[in-house]
Amino acid sequence: MNHRFTPLAKAPVLAALAALALPASAVSVIGNLANFDAVNNTGHSAYGFEIELEDPDLWDDSSNASLHHSSKYVYSVFGLDRNFGPILGYQVTRFSQVAVTNYNNDLGHHAGVRITYGLASGATPGAGAVFTQAAGPGGFSTPGESCWPGANRNWTANPCDHFGVSTTGNVLTTRYSWVVQATPGGALESQLAAIPAVVYQVPAAAPGQPAQPVVARIEAVEVEPARIDRNWGTAVWVKTFTTITKNHDIDLGNLLVGENGDPDLNANIKKVEIEWNLLQNRPKSPDGDEPDGVDADEAQEDALKLDDNTKSFIRRYEFYEYTGGYDADKKNRAFCNNDSKCLKDPTGAGAVGHFLGRQIAGYNALEVAAPVPEPQTWAMLAAGLLALGGLRRRSRQD
C-alpha cells in the first residue's frame, strides 16, 4: 500500500483521469458508479434521504430515455435492484421504500431524476416510522462499514446510512439531502447533506482523435448556491483512497468499503494509494472575476500509468471537519495552507475533526473491438486533484 499525504487547499475540485495514447474509442466508461456513507449531522431525526440528479437528458429508466432520444438513465440503485438479499435479518438499507422518479423544474420542464429512500419531503411521518437518529454533539466516525447491515448487528443504532446509484453517461449536478422533521409534528423537509458529490464526466472524442480526459468532479456543498460570497467557504478535509485493479470490472457492490468480500476483486487489486486534501469553495463575485486578494494558483496533478491488464479503479473519499483557523485578512481562507500548519499533532489538536461521510466512486476501462494487431492499450491516467483555482500543494502527516 502506498501512502501519499499531499493536501490541496482548493475550490471545486477536478480529479482528471486522462486516457491518452489510445485510439478514439478504445476506452469508455460504464456511467457513474457511486456508493457512499452519510452521517446525519442535521440535528434532527431523518425519515428519508434524497439523491437529486439534475440533468435534463437523464431519465429514470432505459425505456423513458429511449422515448426521449437519450442514452442517459439510472441503471442501478443500492437498496432497490442492488440489494444482496436480506443480511442479518435486514434489507441492505434502513428505509425499505426506495423510489426513482423523474422531476420537473419550476417551468414544468423535465429537470432530472430524484431517488428517494424512505419518506419524501412534504410527508408527515406516522407512529412507528423508521428514522435515522441525529449524530450527537461529539460527532460520529464509522469504523469501516457501520452504516448498513453488512457491518454488524447493531448498525441501526448508528446515525448514518449507506446509499448508492449508477447512471449511464454524464450527470451535470448531484445533490444529497436528508429528509428531516425540523418542527415536532410538522411536515418533513429536505436539508442538504454535508457530502460532496463525485460525478464522472466523459467528453466525447472527435472522430479520429484520441479519447478525451474522463473527469471526476468533486464540489464542496453550498447551502445557498445562488448567494454571492466574497469570502472562502467552510473547509472540509478529504481523505482519498485509490484502488487500482486488474482483470476485473466493478459494479455498485464492489464500491462498498471492503469490496463486500468479493474474492475475485481482492485477488486483482494491484495497489492502493492514500492522500489528504482540503476542499474549500473559493470566493465569488458578481462579475465572475477573482476578488482582490485571491491567488489563482496553478493546478497540480499526479500521473498513474495503467498497463494493458488494468481494468478499473475505485476511489473512496472520506470527509472530515476542518477544525483549524481561518485567515480574516485573506477572506477566510483556511490557515492550513503550508507544511508547518498541516501537521497532525499526537494530542489530537490538529485540524482534522469529526467524520462527515464517505463517497465511493468507480471507473471501468473497457476495450472495444479493435483491428488486428491490437493497437497500444496502455493509458496514462492523471489521477491527481485539479482545481479551478486557489490550489496549493503541501505535505501532511497522518
The predicted-structure confidence for 237-291, as pLDDT tens digits, reads as follows 777 777 766 555 555 455 554 444 455 555 555 456 677 767 776 676 555 544 4
Task: Establish how many alpha carbons lie within 13 A of residue 379's alpha carbon, considering only the half-sphere containing its beta carbon.
Answer: 30
328 has pLDDT over 70: yes
Q: How far is Cα 139 from Cα 43, in angstroms, rounded to an integer?
A: 11
Q: What is the pLDDT of residue 170?
A: 65
Q: What is the pLDDT of residue 197?
A: 62
Three-state secondary structure readout of 234-257: CCEEEEEEEEEEECCCCCHHHHCH
* Burial grade of 92 (CB within 10 A; 0-12, 13-18, 19 or more): buried
For 168, the grid coordinates are: 449511464
Q: What is the pLDDT of residue 266?
A: 55
Q: Going by DSSP bridges, is the β-strand pair 160-167/386-387 parallel, antiparallel, or unpaired? A: unpaired
Q: What is the pLDDT of residue 114?
A: 96
Task: Establish how many alpha carbons lie within 13 A of residue 10's alpha carbon, considering only the half-sphere containing its beta carbon.
Answer: 30
Q: How far is Cα 222 from Cα 100, in angstroms, rounded to an integer?
A: 24
pLDDT tier at 94 (50, 70, 90 boundaries)?
confident
For 57, the grid coordinates are: 437528458
8 A C-beta contact, residue 235 and residue 332: no
Cα–Cα nearest to 34, from 143, 204, 195: 195
CA of residue 44 relative to chain centroid, distance: 23
Q: What is the mean pLDDT of the chain?
A: 63
Q: How far is Cα 351 from Cα 79, in angstroms, rounded to an integer?
A: 35
Q: What is the pLDDT of residue 227?
A: 44
What's the whole-number mean pLDDT along residues 362-370?
A: 42
Q: What is the pLDDT of residue 364?
A: 56
Cα–Cα nearest to 342, from 316, 322, 317: 322
115 has pLDDT over 70: yes
Give strand pairing partners of 59. Answer: 73
Could you tell me the pTM of the whole model?
0.59
Q: What is the pLDDT of residue 10?
A: 30
Q: What is the pLDDT of residue 178?
A: 93
pLDDT digits (tens, 9 = 90+) for 144-195: 556 777 666 778 888 888 888 888 776 777 888 999 998 888 999 999 886 6
8 A C-beta contact, residue 355 and residue 140: yes
Task: Convert 264-288 to b/e letters by CB count within 10 Å (16 or more is b).
Answer: ebeebbeeebbbbbbbbbbbbeeee
Q: How far is Cα 190 from Cα 182, in angstroms, rounded to an integer?
A: 9
